[in-house]
Amino acid sequence: MRRPDLLHALIGVLLPAALLLSGCGEEITHDQPLNDQTVKAAQVVAGLDMTASERDLMRGELADARDGYLDLHRLDLQPGALPNSVRPAVVFDPLQVAPDLAARVGVHGVDPRWSPAPALSRPADLNKLAYYTVGQLGTLIRTRQVSCEELTRLSLERLRRYDPELHCVVTLTAERALDRARELDAMLARGEYLGPLHGIPYGAKDLLAVAGYPTTWGAAPYRDQVIGEDAAVIRKLDDAGAVLTAKLTLGALAMGDVWFGGKTRNPWNPDQGSSGSSAGPAAAVSAGLVPFAIGTETWGSIVSPSTRCGVTGLRPTFGRVSKAGAMTLSWTMDKIGPIARTVKDCAIVFDAIRGADPADPSAVDMPFAYDPRFDARTLRVGYLKSEFDRDYRWHDLHAKALDDLRAAGFTLVPVALPDSAALGCDVYSLSIILSAEAGAAFQELVLSGRDDELVRQDRYAWPTTFRAAQFIPAVQYIQANRARVRLMRLMADVFKQVDVYVTPSFEGDNLLITNLTGHPQVVVPCGFKEPNAPHSISFVGGLYDEAEVLEVARAYQEATGWEDKHPEGYDRVQNP
């Protein structure tokens, strides 16, 4: 290993100094013979109780295992041997707990339907387009009142103008965008129309590969990395006619809003970070720099910045969207989804990016029966009563959101998520699944010492997590995944009672539980506790039931109108 003191530093936090030393002042190194003292130290870290005799019997096997670990370290340090794109020989499948689920999904149809196009005229001031929805912009493009190139130039100009304040752009893709916009205009002139995303600009979180441009993952060790192919999501959006105008910021390696170029800012309050890790996508949509953006979530990275920036986000069911060409943090928890102005915009984008992919064995084809004409009030809608009943900062906003849902015609029934008594352990004990997978995905940083290049170096930053993850027992990782199956079965029981449930976005265990189980979540603005401080409410649906959860969220959004609120000060731009 690169530092003889690494084991000492990590275990020393947990153990008395006497357990770390084989003699006074002598440090433990990775190549010294294992003695009872070092094995006992490792035993304590693993939470095990073994006798001296038992430790003596297994020292030889532990020494052999260590040789294997060091051999694997050498493999990881070979350039190109284990790139981030190489996945383990196992696939997480939510359907393992409900093999008959496919027959139940999409009960009111198979393909999505869209609302009739709104009647619109080109505004005299094109700056007003900055806050038009995807549907509205699509109408103007389809009727050729606004050209794809005009809309693309507007987005590029706004990104250039406001990025110095928001720090939300890693790389502008101007040449690619303008070439594609002109091509799309020529297609329209020939009568060729690709659908509702034809000519719509967007931004992508900079962990999605785009050929010919850096893919930095927001982290200094990768700031010059160029991946010579497009991510699956980028290809699908190209095929749908969307126009990529920028690669947007993420907290380094998908944590928080701090990246190698600084901190991404919240357009509502630029003194505040935009939250993360989909920091740039949420900020850019909120400030009207792009109509939609692509984010990712492993544990809150769409929900949190969407909340902070007052926009709408969809975290789809695990496996709904191919992750090919995306940075891996967790092979069994990463998800890709849209951030946009409205629920309907998220539905349009999701429809374009969903589906199976031979390059991602976890990606599946499932129906998406979204229909804005469907009466969502006929669905069984629950709410997490114990969470809403708590005394917390956002209680009044969330209580009003429940009242708004009832006023819109929904009958809300109380439901509860599985607790530790039902699960048999604390759900947060299962978070080692993420830590272990992230530690494996970025072990090379630890072994090479390049983890020191990451901007954040504190107790809860990735470098610390990656280092500590090297000590997670493989047996406990497997046991956590077995407990995960138990959790998924308990969640299946919840969805026998309701089709969708409403939850505070952050209270209680919902965010971790549903990221572990793979359930879809829609986050929408629900008002302001104080000026320039938007907050959100969330809707969670059954596995692969994006249509139903989006329809309920859309009904709430249309009844309240919070999505029409935008931060002030982002209208200073010249016509493209």
Select the more confidently predicted residue: 108 or 172: 172
Annotated catalytic residue within 147, 155, 277, 286: 277
Task: Give the domain ranges of the chain.
Answer: 1-82, 95-116+128-366+375-421+483-564
In which band, very low, low, confident or very high, does the pLDDT at 232 lie, cut at 50, 70 and 90?
very high
Tell me the per-residue pLDDT of 292-309, one tens digit each, with 9 for 90 and over: 999 999 999 999 999 999
Q: Are 169 and 214 in contact (CB under 8 A)?
A: no
Percentage of residues of the chain with pLDDT beyond 70: 92
Domain 95-116+128-366+375-421+483-564 has CATH 3.40.190.10: no
CA distance 123 to 146: 9
In which band, very low, low, confident or very high, does the pLDDT at 451 lie, cut at 50, 70 and 90?
very high
Annotated catalytic residue within 278, 301, 304, 536: 301
Tell me the per-residue pLDDT of 454-495, one tens digit each, with 9 for 90 and over: 989 999 999 999 999 999 999 999 999 999 999 999 999 999
CA distance 255 to 459: 13
Q: Are 463 and 451 in contact (CB under 8 A)?
A: yes
Select the more confidently predicted residue: 117 or 10: 117
Q: Are 31 and 6 in contact (CB under 8 A)?
A: no
pLDDT at residue 340 above 50?
yes
Would you call 301 a catalytic residue per the annotation?
A: yes
Please give the pLDDT value at position 101.
62
Would you call 304 a catalytic residue per the annotation?
A: no
Residue 166 bridge partners (DSSP)? none
**DSSP class per residue in 440-501:** HHTHHHHHHTGGGGSS--STTSHHHHHHHHTTS-HHHHHHHHHHHHHHHHHHHHHTTT-SEE
Please give the pLDDT value at position 32.
79
In which band, very low, low, confident or very high, does the pLDDT at 571 lie, cut at 50, 70 and 90?
confident
Tell me the per-residue pLDDT of 305-328, one tens digit each, with 9 for 90 and over: 999 999 999 999 999 999 999 999
Would you call 155 a catalytic residue per the annotation?
A: no
Tell me the per-residue pLDDT of 506-549, one tens digit each, with 9 for 90 and over: 999 999 999 999 999 999 999 999 999 999 999 999 999 999 99
CA distance 166 to 154: 17
This prediction's pTM = 0.92
Q: How does DSSP classify residue 45?
A: H
Q: How does DSSP classify residue 298?
A: S
Annotated catalytic residue within 155, 205, 322, 344: 205
Encoded amino acid at 113, one letter: R
Q: Among 123-137, 158-172, 432-446, 560-574, which is the least confidently predicted range?
A: 560-574
In which band, very low, low, confident or very high, does the pLDDT at 31 lie, cut at 50, 70 and 90?
confident
CA distance 163 to 310: 18
